[in-house]
Amino acid sequence: MTDPFSIAIGALSAFEMILKAGITVYDGINTAKTFGKDSAWLIRRLNAERVIAEELKKFLFGENCSSSAEINQGLENCFFNGLPKGVQIAISDSLRQSNRVIVAHSGLDKYGFVSKATDPMVDKALIDGDEKKKQHSATALEIATWTLKDGRKARIMVDEFTECIALVDHLVRTCLLVETSSASLRRLEEDRAANALGIAKDARMRRIVTAEEVPTDIKVIELQDHGQLRLEPRGGSTSLTEEILNGERVLVESVDYPLDPDGRMGVPSLIQERLSKLAALLQAEKPLEFRCLKSSGWIHQASKQRFLFVYEYPIGETFNFYFSLDRILREKSKKMKPTLDARLALAYQLAKAIQNIHMVGWVHKGLRSSNVLFFNSEPLDTLKECSFQDPNIFGFEYARPLQNLADSAMETDLNIERNVYRHPDRWGKPHEHFEKKHDLYALGVILLEVGLWESVFSFQSSSFSNWTEEPQKVKERILLHANRLGFYTGERYRDIVLCCLDPHKVSLQSSELQNPDALDSIIAETLRNICQTEHNIVIKSLEKIRLGS
């Protein structure tokens, strides 16, 4: 049996090999950087991924760990030691396999510079882009060779490096974020490398979710409106309006709550607990991949039996208007037709957001296209085109942590506008507690709308209003239209949508079907692969946004 020390040494060695491979790939691409924008973009992307890889190594093994003696000394306290043995081996194997792929596609040194690096640590001069090596003038033959052959080879190596680091990052987050110990989660929050990787933010949200009440060290900001807000009560669900609060333009989401079951005044204790946690979660700093509107506080209007969640407008942009995906599809779907690349990018970001929400132990419960928001400098009426690269999700509607699913309020809701996005088991008076699969069903309906670029309400000429109490008929109609996706977006995208709506409709591996909790990860990763392999420009554009170009 392999001992923990040997596994740790093997994993550290694999990390150092992949970091060294990253330097070699960088050197090869950098000597060809005058050949066009593509090579310059690859350099920036690779640099960003190398930084992430280095931080992952420091996080798992310690800030200064680079030898077997140091590992042996600090093995008990390093985060790597806390991972399951199977995950430790999977990390090492993934790194080694990716290194083999990168080596197999090497050969970029012909452009004038071969890396002599022996130190696996990333060279700061390279990271900063302070290239001191003199570039020779590119000949027409070299440019043609790069364009037709070596550019593709470089992209394969960068893609492999990126996918490998993303897999390791996902394995680490998935294992660490099943943790429920407040002390262990606090340790993650305080770790420097965990902060650099964004894991600390995930851990903080996980700590909010798993606590019975919002932890006392986490401040939930409560604002005062002093009569500034004039929202009218909305029956039963969330709403979003633009308001002026303390001289600042904000968006306000209204969540009504019922009277106490005993008829007493005040907020029912269960609802108070859930909404307090939701307020803490929305206010918590989180990675961009969560795609959540940033909340600056909440307001309790007891006289109107409602809570108001206050959201900020995006910083640094002249966005004067906002509109939902639902409104775009209903009003502009025929005039504003985004490319397939843009639709795939949007689908991937939404799936990734739900995966991240689920990873910290939360469920959305109110997911639908009217709760997906876009900001723009022009009103929708005059807008001819829109960037769909920055969706924002809101409307968590009494969302609750996964471990408290049995506390579901089981309220009755016959509103067809909401029910169309709900799993049939969640219509009317739900007879099933809310689970992750119900979020994925709603995601599937949205992905169907995005793929066809049609509102779900256009699928039935007589409208779904005739089927307000026949959820299976609505689901069958949605599945019928989902099969159209093969023509519009390809078979793999179609299968992903079917997997969301009904996993047994597609040919997944039996192990995947036996682990429905992993479906959100499978869906997000498959969408990413679709974007990358068939429409590489999608991933490229998303990476440019992430790198700030």
In a domain, 249, yes or no: yes
Beta strands in 363-402 (DSSP E): 372-376, 392-393
**Phi, psi at residue 48, to the nearest 5°?**
-60, -45
Look at residue 133 in the predicted model and tell me its pLDDT: 38
Burial class (CB in 10 A: 0-12, 13-18, 19+), 102: buried
Looking at the structure, do residues 460 and 489 belong to the same domain, yes or no? yes
Secondary structure class of 307 (helix, strand, coil)? strand
Assess whether pLDDT exceeds 50 at residue 119. Answer: no
Q: Lowest-pLDDT range, 1-15, 189-203, 283-297, 524-538?
A: 524-538
Contacts of 341 (CB under 8 A, 6+ apart): 531, 535, 537, 538, 541
- As a whole number, mean pLDDT of residues 446-458 equals 93
How far apart CA 44 and CA 38 sit, in angstroms, is 10
Assess whether pLDDT exceeds 80 at residue 105. Answer: no
1 beta partners: none
Per-residue pLDDT reduced to its tens digit, 206-238: 999 998 889 999 999 999 877 777 665 444 344
Look at residue 313 in the predicted model and tell me its pLDDT: 86
Look at residue 73 in the predicted model and tell me its pLDDT: 60
Range of the domain at 388: 327-546
Per-residue pLDDT reduced to its tens digit, 471-509: 888 888 899 999 999 999 988 899 999 999 988 776 654
Check if the beta carbon of residue 435 is closer than 8 Å to that of residue 408. no
- As a whole number, mean pLDDT of residues 363-372 equals 93
- CA torsion 104→109→113→114, rounded to 10°? 40
- The residue among 209 and 134 whose pLDDT is bigger is 209
Choose the final residue of a domain: 150, 176, 202. Answer: 176
Look at residue 524 in the predicted model and tell me its pLDDT: 83
**Within 10 Å of residue 79's Cβ, how many Cβ atoms?**
20
In a domain, 226, yes or no: no
CATH code: domain of residue 274: 3.30.200
Choose the final residue of a domain: 312, 341, 364. Answer: 312
Beta strands in 395-469 (DSSP E): none
Looking at the structure, do residues 38 and 133 belong to the same domain, yes or no? yes
**Phi, psi at residue 513, to the nearest 5°?**
-70, -30
Q: Lowest-pLDDT range, 28-32, 399-403, 463-467?
A: 399-403
Looking at the structure, do residues 308 and 348 belong to the same domain, yes or no? no
Look at residue 136 in the predicted model and tell me its pLDDT: 41
Looking at the structure, do residues 536 and 408 belong to the same domain, yes or no? yes
Element (H, E) at 355: helix 340-359
CATH code: domain of residue 521: 1.10.510.10
In the chain, pLDDT over 70 holds for what percent of residues? 72
- As a whole number, mean pLDDT of residues 143-157 equals 63
- The residue among 42 and 351 whose pLDDT is bigger is 351
Q: How long a stretch of residues is the chain? A: 549
Assess whether pLDDT exceeds 50 at residue 132. Answer: no
Q: Lowest-pLDDT range, 101-115, 151-165, 412-426?
A: 101-115
In a domain, 425, yes or no: yes
Provide the domain count of the chain. 3
Helical spans, DSSP H, in 37-181: 37-61, 68-74, 85-104, 124-127, 140-145, 151-176
In a domain, 423, yes or no: yes
How far apart CA 73 and CA 58 sit, in angstroms, is 15
Looking at the structure, do residues 103 and 247 belong to the same domain, yes or no? no
- The residue among 17 and 109 whose pLDDT is bigger is 17
Looking at the structure, do residues 355 and 498 belong to the same domain, yes or no? yes
- As a whole number, mean pLDDT of residues 141-164 equals 68
Look at residue 309 in the predicted model and tell me its pLDDT: 94
Looking at the structure, do residues 450 and 383 belong to the same domain, yes or no? yes
Per-residue pLDDT reduced to its tens digit, 54-90: 899 889 888 776 655 555 565 667 888 888 888 888 8
In a domain, 216, yes or no: no
pLDDT band at 510 (very low <50, low <70, confident <90, very high): very low
Looking at the structure, do residues 35 and 97 belong to the same domain, yes or no? yes
Q: What angle do CA 357, 50, 139 make, to 5 degrees?
A: 130
Q: Lowest-pLDDT range, 38-47, 330-339, 345-354, 510-519?
A: 510-519
3-state secondary structure 463-496: CHHHHCCCHHHHHHHHHHHHCCHHHHCCHHHHHH
312 beta partners: 250
Assess whether pLDDT exceeds 90 at residue 351. Answer: yes
Q: At what angle do helices 340-359 and 491-501 cross, to 10 degrees?
A: 30
What predicted TM-score, i.e. pTM, was given to this entire model? 0.81
How far apart CA 25 and CA 347 sit, in angstroms, is 31
Secondary structure class of 115 (helix, strand, coil)? coil
Looking at the structure, do residues 305 and 401 belong to the same domain, yes or no? no
Looking at the structure, do residues 435 and 509 belong to the same domain, yes or no? yes
Looking at the structure, do residues 393 and 536 belong to the same domain, yes or no? yes
What is the average pLDDT score of the chain?
77
Closest among 97, 111, 92, 93 to 39, alpha carbons compared: 111
Choose the final residue of a domain: 123, 155, 176. Answer: 176
- As a whole number, mean pLDDT of residues 524-546 equals 60
Looking at the structure, do residues 124 and 33 belong to the same domain, yes or no? yes
Check if the beta carbon of residue 177 is closer than 8 Å to that of residue 360. yes
